Structures are given as C-alpha cells and as structure tokens.
C-alpha cells in the first residue's frame, strides 16, 4: 500500500528508546547540535534547536514507521532493516527502505551456529534441519539462494538456548564477541550479514521543508562522524630539527608552521584524521619535538 502523502515542516527521526543503539544515537544527534525537550511519557522528544523531533521506540518498529511515513529517518541496525524489507518482499510488496548513511558502530554479524561438537560441511547439511532465529526472512533468503529447504523456527529472543531445549537443531542469530554462543556450546560457521547502525530512510527523497532539514542534519552528521576520529596534533621544535620532525608527522594533513616569538623555535599544528599513537609521539620526540599535545576537535568549517 502506498503511504498517504504527508506534509510536515518538521523532520521526525525514530531512535531506539533503550538498548544498545539508544545512547550512541542520542550522542550522534546531540553532536549535530540538536537539543530537545522530552515528553512526560518519554516517547517523544521535541527538537528545540532545530525542527527535528525524535520518536523513541523499539528498534523493530523503526522500519515500519519509516515505511508508513510516520517517521522520516531512523537510526537502526542493518539487520533490522534487511529483515523488514525482505518481509515486505515476501508479502509481494516492494522494499521500502534504504541506508542513507553507515555509522560504523553497533557492529555485529548474523551467523549460523551449530553445536560445538558437530562438523561443518556446508549449507547442504542444513536440509531438513530445524533452525531457530529471530531473522526468518534473512535466513530464508540465504537458504533459498543455496537451494536448501530447512524448517525455520521463529523466536523473538533467547535463540541460543533453543537447541538445548530441543526446539531446534541449530540457530541463526546475532554475534558480536561470540561469548553467548560459547556459553551455550555453539560455534559460528557461516555469516549471513555484517551489520552496523545505519541511518535508514525511504527509497524516495523527502518532500516539502523536510528535505532541506534532512540535508542539513545529514551534512552535520557527516561532519560529526569525520570529526570523531580527527585530532589536532600540536608540538614545538627548534628550527634546526624541523625537517626531521616534519618527516615524522602522520601522512595526509598539511602542517601549519608558526614562528615562536623571540626564539629560534617553531610551533607546528596538523590535523590528523586517525588516532595518533603513542609510538608516533615518541618518534616525534626523538626527532627533536617537545611539548607535544593531541587534542580532540569539537567543530570545523573548511
């Protein structure tokens, strides 16, 4: 069903109310200059500094809210987006969502895992087996791509104990450290999906004033994501050792070299787009630099 055309002059972003993605999502939006006032039931945040409101929901509800046009964007795991769209497609509807940005955190995998003491010989051995999962559509696609017919047992949680309870022969679930699998005597054997948090949005561009607001938010987000890793490296050095010191700077950045008043010394500043290691600082010190400082960058306009 095509959602009705909705006209709004404020952008609405769905984020997880509580759980793994809740705090990083709020931190990211706050780093874009967003401030908000929370409703009494803590389900809605009214954007004060920008016309961007937040809806606080369970992560599973985020794709549907976007597809129905209730929200414009959402911060959610790729695993949830993919499962939702495959579910729609299984029902004959077109996919409704796209990844507008990849955020690089909330990373995990959707893996097939079997009992520790079993041998893995490939997907064919799953024929006729019962597989417990909360991702029936993603698993279904993977199996059908391999021509394997298995029995998918859909569970909403505690998937890892299904084999022990006799509900299933193996599982397909999210894995990060692998600790939960190991605690349940299971081992991962195949990865169906590599996931991370994403900005999910509709497949079509936004209309009315929301398009400009979304552009601005995404522009700020791109800047914030880039700045997160960016550091300003500052140091001092005698003019005589400057070539050696410059040779030890991280690659990429263009250093600014300033004369220090009344001394035969310079101050060097350079933007680094990756972490500056202790080893790097020691190398610079050995080359003759002193008073080295690495500072986070809060904001930047080119």
Ligand X SMILES: O=P(O)(O)OC[C@H]1O[C@H](OP(=O)(O)OP(=O)(O)O)[C@H](O)[C@@H]1O
- Residues of this chain that bind ligand X (CB under 6 A): 157, 160, 173-180
Q: Which of 13, 80, 139, 268 binds ligand ATP (CB under 6 A)?
A: 80
User: Is residue 169 a contact point for ligand ATP (CB under 6 A)?
Assistant: no
User: Is residue 60 a contact point for ligand ATP (CB under 6 A)?
Assistant: yes
Q: Which of 22, 60, 244, 292 binds Mg ion (CB under 5 A)?
A: 60
Distance of CA 81 to the CA centre of its chain: 12
Stretch that binds Mg ion, among 54-62, 193-201, 254-262, 288-296 (CB under 5 A): 54-62
Give the length of the chain: 302
Q: If binding means CB under 6 A, how many residues of this protein chain bind ligand ATP?
A: 15
State how far the Cα of 11 lies from the Cα of 54, in Å rounded to an integer. Answer: 9
* Contacts (CB under 6 A) with ligand ATP, residues 16-55: 16, 19-21
Identify which of 133, 129, 109, 107 has the alpha carbon closest to the alpha carbon of residue 120: 129
Identify which of 111, 115, 170 has the alpha carbon closest to the alpha carbon of residue 142: 111
Identify which of 240, 235, 226, 251 has the alpha carbon closest to the alpha carbon of residue 292: 235
User: Is residue 58 a contact point for ligand ATP (CB under 6 A)?
Assistant: yes
Q: Which residue is nearest to ligand ATP (CB)?
A: 77
Q: If binding means CB under 5 A, how many residues of this protein chain bind Mg ion?
A: 2
- If the CB atoms of residues 7 and 177 are measured against ligand ATP, the closer one turns out to be 177
Torsion angle defined by CA atoms of residues 139, 141, 142 and 144, in that order, rounded to the nearest 10 degrees: 120
- If the CB atoms of residues 51 and 136 are measured against ligand ATP, the closer one turns out to be 136
Q: Is 22 exposed, middle or buried (0-12, 13-18, 19+ CB in 10 A)?
A: middle
Q: Work out what residue 178 binds among ligand X, Mg ion, ligand ATP, none; the CB cut-off runs from 5 to 8 Å by kind.
A: ligand X
User: Is residue 17 a contact point for Mg ion (CB under 5 A)?
Assistant: no
Cβ atoms within 10 A of the Cβ of 244, count? 15
Q: Work out what residue 179 binds among ligand ATP, ligand X, Mg ion, none; the CB cut-off runs from 5 to 8 Å by kind.
A: ligand X
Q: Is 209 exposed, middle or buried (0-12, 13-18, 19+ CB in 10 A)?
A: middle
- If the CB atoms of residues 79 and 150 are measured against ligand X, the closer one turns out to be 79
Give the tokens for residue 180. 């939960």
């Amino acid at each position: 069903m095509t959602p009705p055309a909705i006209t709004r002059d404020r952008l609405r972003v769905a984020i997880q109310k509580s759980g793994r993605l809740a705090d990083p999502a709020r931190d990211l939006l706050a780093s874009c200059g967003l401030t908000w006032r929370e409703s009494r039931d803590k389900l809605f945040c009214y954007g004060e500094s920008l016309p961007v409101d937040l809806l606080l929901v369970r992560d599973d509800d985020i794709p549907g809210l976007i597809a129905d046009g209730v929200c414009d964007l959402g911060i959610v795991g790729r695993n949830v987006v993919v499962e939702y769209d495959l579910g729609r497609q299984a029902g004959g509807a077109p996919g409704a969502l796209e990844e507008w940005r990849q955020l690089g955190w909330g990373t995990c995998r959707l893996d097939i895992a079997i009992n520790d003491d079993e041998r893995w010989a490939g997907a064919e051995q799953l024929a006729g087996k019962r597989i417990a999962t909360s991702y029936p559509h993603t698993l279904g696609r993977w199996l059908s791509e391999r021509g394997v017919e298995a029995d998918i047992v859909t569970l909403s949680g505690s998937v890892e104990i299904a084999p022990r309870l006799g509900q299933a022969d193996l599982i397909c679930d999210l894995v990060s450290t692998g600790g939960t699998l190991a605690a349940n005597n299971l081992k991962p054997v195949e990865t169906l999906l590599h996931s991370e948090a994403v900005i999910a949005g509709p497949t079509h561009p936004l209309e009315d004033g929301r398009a400009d607001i979304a552009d601005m938010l995404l522009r700020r987000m791109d800047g914030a994501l880039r700045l997160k890793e960016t550091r300003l490296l500052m140091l001092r050095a005698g003019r005589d050792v400057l070539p050696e010191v410059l040779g030890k700077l991280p690659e990429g950045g263009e250093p600014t070299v300033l004369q220090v008043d009344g001394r035969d010394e310079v101050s060097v500043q350079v933007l680094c787009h990756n972490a500056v290691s202790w080893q790097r600082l020691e190398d610079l010190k050995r080359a003759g630099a002193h008073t080295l400082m690495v500072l986070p960058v809060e904001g930047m306009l080119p």
